[in-house]
């Protein structure tokens, strides 16, 4: 499924498209979705150590971490399962940001282990293994520029910048 893709960003972009197509809650087949996820992780593992130039013109090295990749994939799936057309789910690096009509989904977002970021007025999720003990002074636009951004809204996907 992912053999033709040569870069991490290409693989991740293909994953997002296939996830929309194959997810059981969107009319896809459960077994095909599970197989696609397994192939995705195998392909990412094969790209461990790959370097690429980001939109910030800096060289970035991808380090595969199965638990982080799996946890982020699972969280995206859980958020998509809310079937909330009025929420925007944005992936920046390995952090998920949720905005839109979040008030209506506040309790559900808490149940999904998302936290409220008062300065950015968005809900967020990141894995425990990716935790840093410093407050970022970066704006959301700076975060998008540095790490790339992919947004998920209902049935479409919006890509801003490259995610490597």
Residue 1, in any domain of the structure:
no
**pTM assigned to the model:** 0.70
**What average pLDDT does range 45-69 have in this prediction?**
83
Joined together, the tokens standing for residue 34 give 């599970």
Find which of 29-38, 82-91, 102-111, 126-135 is predicted with most confidence, using mean pLDDT.
102-111
- The whole-number average pLDDT for the span 51-78 is 83
Kindly indicate the confidence band of residue 10, based on its pLDDT and cuts at 50, 70 and 90: confident
Give me the domain span that covers residue 134: 8-160
146 C-beta neighbours (distance < 10 Å), count: 18
The span from the first CA to the last CA of the chain, in angstroms, equals 19
More confident of the two residues 146 and 156: 146
Backbone angles phi, psi at 134, to 5 degrees: -140, 150
Q: How many domains does the chain have?
A: 1
To 5 degrees, how large is the angle CA 82–CA 74–CA 121?
60
Within a domain: 127:
yes
Residues 6+ apart with CB under 8 A from 139: none
Q: DSSP class of residue 133? A: S
Residue at 49 is within a domain: yes
User: Residue 53, Cβ neighbours under 10 Å: how many?
Assistant: 11
Residue 61: inside a domain, yes or no?
Answer: yes
Q: What is the pLDDT of residue 164?
A: 47
Tens-digit pLDDT profile for residues 114-143: 999 999 999 999 987 655 555 578 888 888
For residue 55, the tally of other CB atoms under 10 A from its CB is 16
What does the pLDDT read at residue 135?
A: 56
Question: Does 70 score more than 80 pLDDT?
Answer: yes
Q: Which residue has the higher pLDDT, 41 or 137?
A: 41
Reported confidence tier of residue 97, pLDDT bands at 50, 70, 90: very high
Residue 47 lies in a domain: yes
Percent of the chain with pLDDT over 90: 32
């Amino acid at each position: 499924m992912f053999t033709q893709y040569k870069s991490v960003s290409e693989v991740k972009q293909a994953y997002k498209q296939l996830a929309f197509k194959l997810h059981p809650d969107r009319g896809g087949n459960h077994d095909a979705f599970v197989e696609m996820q397994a192939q995705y992780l195998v392909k990412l593992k094969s790209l461990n150590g790959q370097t690429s130039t980001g939109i910030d013109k800096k060289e970035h090295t991808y380090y595969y971490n199965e638990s982080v990749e799996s946890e982020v994939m699972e969280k995206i799936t859980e958020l998509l399962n809310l079937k909330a057309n009025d929420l925007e789910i944005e992936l920046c690096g390995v952090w998920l940001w949720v905005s839109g009509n979040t008030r209506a989904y506040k309790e559900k977002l808490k149940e999904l282990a998302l936290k409220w970021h008062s300065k950015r007025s968005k809900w967020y999720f990141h894995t425990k293994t990716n935790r840093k003990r410093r407050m970022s002074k970066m704006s959301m636009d700076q975060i998008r520029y540095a790490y790339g951004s992919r947004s998920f809204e209902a049935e479409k996907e919006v890509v801003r910048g490259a995610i490597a």
